[in-house]
Amino acid sequence: MKDFSLLQKKYIVPTYPNRGLTFVEGEGVYLKDILGEKYLDLMTNYGVNLFGYAHPAITRRLADQLGRLTTLHGSFTNDVRTEAAQRLVGRCAGGLARAFFSNSGAEANEAGLKFAVLATGKKKFIRCRNGYHGKTLGSLSATDGKKYREPFEPLLWHFTAVAYDELGELEAALDHETAAFIVEPVQGESGVLVPREGYLKSAAELCRSKGALLILDEVQSGTGRTGYFLASHPEQLSYDLITLGKGLAGGIPVGATLVSESVAEKIPRSSHTSTFGGNPLAAAGILAVLDLLNDDRLASIREVGDYFLKGLKTIKSGLITEARGKGLMLGVEVREKRDDVLKELQRAKVLAIPAGENVVRFLPPYILEKTHVDEALEKIGSVFSALSPG
């Protein structure tokens, strides 16, 4: 048997940690390694495989499109792309009128920042401390974190950092030279931080008072992750720009930047394009996801997510300081040994991911059932019990 771990180490640039597993197949909520061992996937490739693996409706839709047309330049009209844009705009609502398609969440944010400059004629932005918006140069300018930023500074334009979920600093930083404030409805990479109710609505009002736009980065929190199609939907906003990515296309690379008509009319032809953006294969994936992500599924995400969170909160361990989150976007903050927890969970055949400096993060598939949660909680509890002091 080939040692793919060694081959990967030899031939792929090592920008990722190696978790020591080789996966070759997925089925439902499980990933299978090269030895046929099954792992309960509570990370879904950082929130991408929204409906798990080999979902029949997604597989059929993508397979059908593969046999018809996979790529088509944006200068030509395509039926699937057009329908995907129309339906996505309708699901997001809030005054959004048009979509620009790209290939990742970082690309979606790059487009959002550029569109804000085009719409306002300004190049001053406000970002949040501990925010994460991607690692390409424009989105990296909005991303916080010395480990990401320092090797590439100075970065682009002018970005002022303010505290998350704190309106006073935002109000002080906003002025009539501000193009936009970019913010996550739930901060994912920094530790699954959920703001107070009304924060986004108040932020939108402050931006509007200064003629600035609000860019909502829904790459991780959107497409149903919190039990609403957009995490920001409960605040009933009038949107300027939102960005989406991750699992929006059923596992096919995708990014989407949705804008209001007033923003769209300021974006000139050829100012921003993407060769593969809006390709018919990804568009077919979007339609499959939109079909599956109905009201019943969103309600299930809320119900199962609440059940999971309540279970996490019952785990008794001196290591745990808090369990938090919304829907199926959950985190457990620990005092220490975060990486040990992740390693022991993996040994117990449960996959989770880190967030921030001290959070174990769970981004399960939407097909997760309470029986899977019970399986996970038993193993999570055992790991914390084994690692707890005394």
pLDDT tens-place string over residues 41-100: 999 999 999 999 999 999 999 999 999 999 999 999 999 999 999 999 999 999 999 999
d(CA 246, CA 243): 10
- Asked if residue 124 has pLDDT above 90, the reply is yes
- The pLDDT, as a whole number, for residue 388 is 86
d(CA 262, CA 120): 10
Tell whether omega for the bond before 17 is within 30 degrees of 0, i.e. cis.
Answer: no
Which residues does 68 contact at the CB level (< 8 Å), separation at least 6? Answer: 280
Structural domain ending residue among the three candidates 292, 313, 338: 292
- The vertex-285 CA angle with 328 and 12, nearest 5°, equals 80
Same domain membership, residue 14 and residue 69: no
What is the number of structural domains in the chain? 2
- The pLDDT, as a whole number, for residue 1 is 66
Contact 127, 144 (CB under 8 A): yes
Indicate the SS3 state at residue 13.
coil
d(CA 9, CA 31): 21
Same domain membership, residue 88 and residue 176: yes
Q: What is the DSSP string of 272-315?
A: S--SSTT-HHHHHHHHHHHHH--HHHHHHHHHHHHHHHHHHHH-
Structural domain ending residue among the three candidates 271, 292, 313: 292
Same domain membership, residue 367 and residue 245: no
Q: What is the CATH number of the domain that holds 352?
A: 3.90.1150.10
* Residue numbers of the domain that contains 139: 58-292
Same domain membership, residue 150 and residue 65: yes
Sheet holding 178-183: strands in order across? 96-102, 255-260, 241-244, 213-217, 178-183, 124-128, 158-162
Which residues does 287 contact at the CB level (< 8 Å), separation at least 6? Answer: 61, 80, 83, 84, 87
Same domain membership, residue 181 and residue 71: yes
Which residue, 136, 138, 104, is CA-closest to 123? 138
Question: How confident is the model over 133-153, as a mean pLDDT?
Answer: 95
Mean pLDDT, the chain, rounded, equals 97
- The pLDDT, as a whole number, for residue 4 is 85
Structural domain ending residue among the three candidates 247, 275, 292: 292
Same domain membership, residue 260 and residue 339: no
Dump pLDDT digits (tens) for 282-297: 999 999 999 999 999 9
Same domain membership, residue 369 and residue 326: yes
Same domain membership, residue 217 and residue 101: yes
Same domain membership, residue 358 and residue 284: no
**């938090």: which residue's tokens?**
324
Dump pLDDT digits (tens) for 220-253: 999 999 999 999 999 999 999 999 999 999 999 9
Same domain membership, residue 101 and residue 218: yes
What tokens does 91 get?
């699901």
Same domain membership, residue 211 and residue 338: no
Same domain membership, residue 278 and residue 150: yes
Distance of CA 371 to the CA centre of its chain: 25
Q: What is the CATH number of the domain that holds 246?
A: 3.40.640.10
